[in-house]
Amino acid sequence: MHESILVFRKRRYLWLALILSALSMAAYLLHDPQEPPNGGTVLGYTLGTIGALMILWLTWYGVRKRRYASRAGTLQGWLSAHVYLGIALLVIVLLHTGFQFGWNVHTLALVVMVLVVLSGLYGVYLYMKYPERMSENRGGTSRAELLSQLDDIDRRARNVAAKLPDAYRDFVDSGIQRTALGRTLWQRLRKEDNSRIRIDGEVVENPGQEAAMDWLAGQQSRADATLAATIAELSALLRNKRQLLRQVSEDLRLQAGLELWLYAHVPLTAALLVALTAHIVTVFLYW
């Protein structure tokens, strides 16, 4: 049975995060330093150390998830802990600051950390929503199946075209070879269809197989009954292909969304490691 990372093992990491946050908040409220709350009090150093170690551990997730042979817990458990402890980190580090912010390297580290956590939360949202939308869009099949169906239609289109004059065969072949959906993340997010087709010796844009279907419709109207029937068969296949391409485009768009947030989460994490180092070094450089 599939278990979401959010409810992994009876939400054990949610409870861990809640307890960690509650303990930090209780300590913050009970702690009464002889100075304004800041990162330099006993509690401030404690929370700061915990926060820094948590950041290192959370970052280690990027390493752990690539270690397929690792037996240190399941990857699902790691991700569940990664999500919940990442949120708890926000609480711990905010208490570490004593809510003192400024235009300095220390607040820079905080801001970068908050951005990392927020991008992570967005990632969690996507991982909760998008897979469902993806299977909804695919109607219970996989991307590979959609692509196989496309293959199948292409093959059948070639079979049908084989019964038609050479012009149709070239038409179908070029349409198949020049079918192209977005390749980069941006193109996929925008559901770009860069398909082209060679018609009457000229390569034209063919988004949604529109140009191809228009041309076929024109041919069909001028053809005799036998030819028209075969052309109609080809048109039906193209209509199916268009529908499948839409599904694939949507699938690619959703997958691009799933990948895109990592382009914020991962580089920001790298920036955070540097900012955190700068923060710690500076604090002790000017102790």
Partner 1 sequence: MKYLIRFITRNAAGGSEFHDRIVEAPVITMGRATDQVLHLKDKRVRLQHAEIERRDGGDVHITTSALAGVTVNGKSQRDARLKVGDVIEVGANVIRIIEAPDGVDFAISFELRADASSEHLVSKWSAPSPGIGGWSKRRLSWTLAGAVLLFGFLLPWFGMQGFLAAGPVHNAHSGIANQCGDCHVTIFERVPDSACMDCHTVTRHVDDAEHAVLGTVRCATCHLEHNEPPQLVNQHQALCADCHADLPATVGLQRAGDFLDDHPQFKVSLKRPTPLDDGSLDWQIEHLVLADVVDGDRSNLKFNHKAHLAADGIMTPDGKRVIRCSQCHEPEPGGVGMLPVSMDEHCSECHTLAFDPDDPTRTVPHGDPEAVLQALIEYYSARLLGDDPDATGQRLRRPGQKLTRADRDRVAAQARTQALDIAADLFERRACVNCHEVTAVDDDALPWRVLPVQLTDEFFPHTRFSHAAHDTEVTSCDSCHGAGTSEAASDLLIPDIDNCRECHGSGERRRNSPAQLTSTCVACHGFHFDAKEDFR
Question: In the window 34-93, what residues touch partner 1 (CB under 8 A)?
Answer: 34-36, 38-40
∠ CA 245-250-256 to the nearest 5 degrees? 120
Could you tell me how many residues of this chain bind partner 1 (CB under 8 A)?
Answer: 74
165 with 226: CB under 8 angstroms? no
Q: Site for partner 1 (CB under 8 A): which residue of 118, 204, 262, 280? A: 262
Residue 267 lies near partner 1 (rule: CB under 8 A): yes
The least distance separating partner 1 from the CB of residue 170, rounded to whole angstroms, comes to 16
Residue 194 lies near partner 1 (rule: CB under 8 A): no
Residue 228 lies near partner 1 (rule: CB under 8 A): no
Q: Site for partner 1 (CB under 8 A): which residue of 3, 136, 151, 205? A: 151
* Alpha carbon distance 207, 41 (integer Å): 64
The least distance separating partner 1 from the CB of residue 283, rounded to whole angstroms, comes to 7
Residue 257 lies near partner 1 (rule: CB under 8 A): no
Residue 1 lies near partner 1 (rule: CB under 8 A): no
Query: Three-state DSSP class for 202?
Result: strand
Residue 192 lies near partner 1 (rule: CB under 8 A): no
Q: Annotate 81-107 with b (16+ C-beta within 10 A) or e (fewer).
A: bbbbbbbbbbbbbbbbbbeeeeeeebe
Residue 108 lies near partner 1 (rule: CB under 8 A): yes
Task: Give the per-residue contact string, 130-149, with partner 1 (x = CB under 8 A; - = no).
Answer: ---------xxxxxxx-xxx
If we measure between CA atoms, which residue out of 143, 215, 208 comes closest to residue 172?
A: 215
Query: Three-state DSSP class for 66?
Result: coil
